[in-house]
Structure 1
């Protein structure tokens, strides 16, 4: 079996040292990696380090091995080009088609998926010039991951941090798994909810559910790998943030509703994969509820939470917006799913059976996707990322049909 050929471009930012970990993950998982650092990148990490970690000479000069035409062949022969970190300067050159070194020549000749993982100070990322360059690249089908929020160079903190190498690697694996058909969500903003809400009873207790958030995080990861700008509404999830995804943390159903309505205002697609509590305690005890000998606890009165999926479906924030729901059922799965689809008013409903040893907390899932148009598609058991890609296939087809309808 041929080793996937990956070009790892490294531009001149302090985060270049993190690319060493990304390179290690590619190499140890059987990928053939050619590192193409810029001259500035070599000030941060030397050529010997790249060669030692990849087991191959680093490609640094356009004029080396001229008879092999490296400025053309490296990009032509790659299955994936990933640039991490991608500086503001590198993004600008790529957006405008400049080719003044080996890496930018490689980007112009690549006919495979290209992924940029930007890293820079917040002001540079938010500058209109950088945002326009990113928008240009995304319109061309290039995948530009959103930077993470965190500590930057010096004492600065904000958006612009390179995503964790593990998360970049996971996104790249999804890109490689799909080959060239990866950017069908480019230019789209998608909102995904994940996890399970918790409704506090007292300072130490809550009403909750067993959702791990893995399916929602898989949806976010695969959407980013297909070029989308992703907002992930994360309800009590203990998972690392996917690369290139804006994470909004929530706890309760009311917090999730507020975040979902706000995020949906600018979204092309909203996928509500979180397990939202149907009820919450009417009263919250300010101190821990104590048990008393010989006294039975008072009944817990509940009040209904808002139906977020039905609300988003009824009040679409923008024309053509698609809304996808999830239905976790324990019995009469399809019958309950069809009834819920009619009741919720969403475009697609992903129905899966849950219970002991099914769905919750596992890395695998299976489902049937019901469409408001009467369609049904069964998704065979497999990794949750595969189910996520199947959902995005259906979404992308509907978005494309709407554009050409």
Structure 2
């Protein structure tokens, strides 16, 4: 099957999932065409079965905001015709589902019928998509998709609550490639001593540093933990909340214990020496960062919002707390970190639970969905 994947090519969860899915599908013999404005960050290599087509948006003074969705829909039409693509899989409702629908209509004018699968990832529904300016277009685009999937049951229910959806939404959880995270016994890059002393616990947070991630809560939780045990905090990512977080560390007097690493393509090498992962988000449609931590054997302290409880199981792979309950999160973190046996128990359980989301269990479900889309065309 020849599949066009449309996604944001950034470090965000939707782009990561779309890219990893495309790579896995290519490994299963499908021909994958990524169509976006730059090569996805997780797409290291192109191959016989993996292609990238850049969407160029000409700069015209006439436009205050350049019309990316028009350029994208035109590019989709050209690539479908040139490469005889069989199916469109668009990730994130805005503007991809809308551009995909416009491409379908243009192709239909030339007698070409192509099914479209839309995968909803989170803020495209709960934040941006539900804004009155965009809601009609998002509703229309979802309803015009042949098949719609969401990455969690929580996101599905949010979508049904916020939009007038006419069709079915299939829940397909995000996934992890367990084989990529299987630690080679000869692996020597996990140099824990570079980051911390032997007696220090290493706590990690990975995100795009937006307000929804509650970065100040990450710092405050760590502040409480380091009062009782020796610890270091690794902050991975970039975004508008990084500078305020650095200032908060200065105010609390813990700057020497917090390391801001910026964006990284080597999250697994950072997680390999981590003892605990913090995810106190305001909301998460799924919690892919938590899953990436768990597959590395890192227990998770998180909020109990959105789809996170579908990934992080309370008392098993970590602990859940109400959003903003820094005291409870700190107490739970210490409960795991203070006792070596407790820490090892949670590490093992986190990894075992993450294996339930292995990519080899999820990709066949998408293949079934693609077949379903053909039948509905």
For the criterion TM > 0.5, the same-fold answer is: no
Larger Rg: 1
Relative to total residues, which structure has the larger helix share, 1 or 2?
A: 2
Report the TM range for the smaller structure's normalisation: 0.3 to 0.5
Relative to total residues, which structure has the larger strand share, 1 or 2?
A: 1
Using the size of structure 2 for normalisation, the TM-score is 0.34
